[in-house]
Amino acid sequence: MTRLSVNINKVATLRNARGGNVPNVEQFAKDCERFGAQGITVHPRPDERHIRRSDVYAIRRCIHTELNIEGNPEPEFVKMVCEVRPAQVTLVPDGHDQLTSNHGWDTIAHRDFLTEITRRFHEAGIRVSIFINPVAEMVEGAKSVEADRVELYTGPYAEMFEQAPEQAIAMYRDAALKAREVGLGLNAGHDLSTTNLPALIHAFPWIDEVSIGHQLIADALYWGIKETIQRYLACCK
């Protein structure tokens, strides 16, 4: 079964909009875990517009399931991750002014940098996943830097799925097959929903983990977080 990691950034966005501590992101993370989520994902950005660095330390202490920290491996981020020591770090090439993640690493052009960063996280006992576009060569590049997994950026998949589901799946086939061929774990994330997730899992049942935030939190406004997590877990089977 593909594991579900719930990205709780949007919960922090809501909290920060009002100030104070409502909703409580630590309690929300614990509740997601209690309702069946097999992981919690956070993506702290330098401006702390949603998840704050202090949240990352607090969440690490209060959950028992896997913590996945996403972000651009700049010095402050690297220092924090090595101190927190999550189960997994996902390297994402975000710019400071970027609204959301919208592209993956060029693992060939940035091979030396990614090799050094991966080595440093491995020394801290942290699994490394690299966020990439669905290109087989980028998978091979991730393997060459000794990453443990790749996370396929699924924004284009979600955008195409409604009108052309078979083409959307086909766009990811080479990269997914290449990951299995070279022995890399496979994650996926961005704009996944209960509508498009089942087809992705059916096509590539070796996906280890999906990280889902914005759509899942939006669905929870209607279904409640417990029911929402159960529905996404059903999609992952």
Q: Is 190 considered catalytic here?
A: yes
At residue 188's C-alpha, the angle toward residues 206 and 67, to 5°, is 100
**Given 33, 151, 190, 209, the catalytic residue:** 190
Asked whether 132 and 114 are in contact (CB, 8 A), the reply is no
Distance CA(160)–CA(168), nearest Å, equals 6
**Given 33, 66, 70, 209, the catalytic residue:** 70
Phi-psi region of 68 (alpha: psi -120 to 50; beta: other; left: phi over 0): beta
**Paired tokens of 216:** 């899942």
Distance CA(49)–CA(98), nearest Å, equals 11
**Paired tokens of 103:** 């592209």
Residues 55-60: contacts with CB under 8 Å, at least 24 apart: 55/12, 55/25, 55/26, 56/80, 56/84, 57/83, 57/84, 58/26, 59/8, 59/25, 59/26, 59/29, 60/84, 60/85, 60/86
**Given 33, 43, 50, 151, the catalytic residue:** 43
Q: Is 123 considered catalytic here?
A: no
Distance CA(116)–CA(202), nearest Å, equals 35
Question: Before 23, cis peptide (omega within 30)?
Answer: yes
| CA distances for 214 relative to 100, 122, 224, angstroms | 10, 29, 14
Q: Which residues contact 166 (CB under 8 A, 6 or more apart)?
A: none
Q: Is 103 considered catalytic here?
A: no
Q: Which residues are catalytic?
A: 43, 70, 190
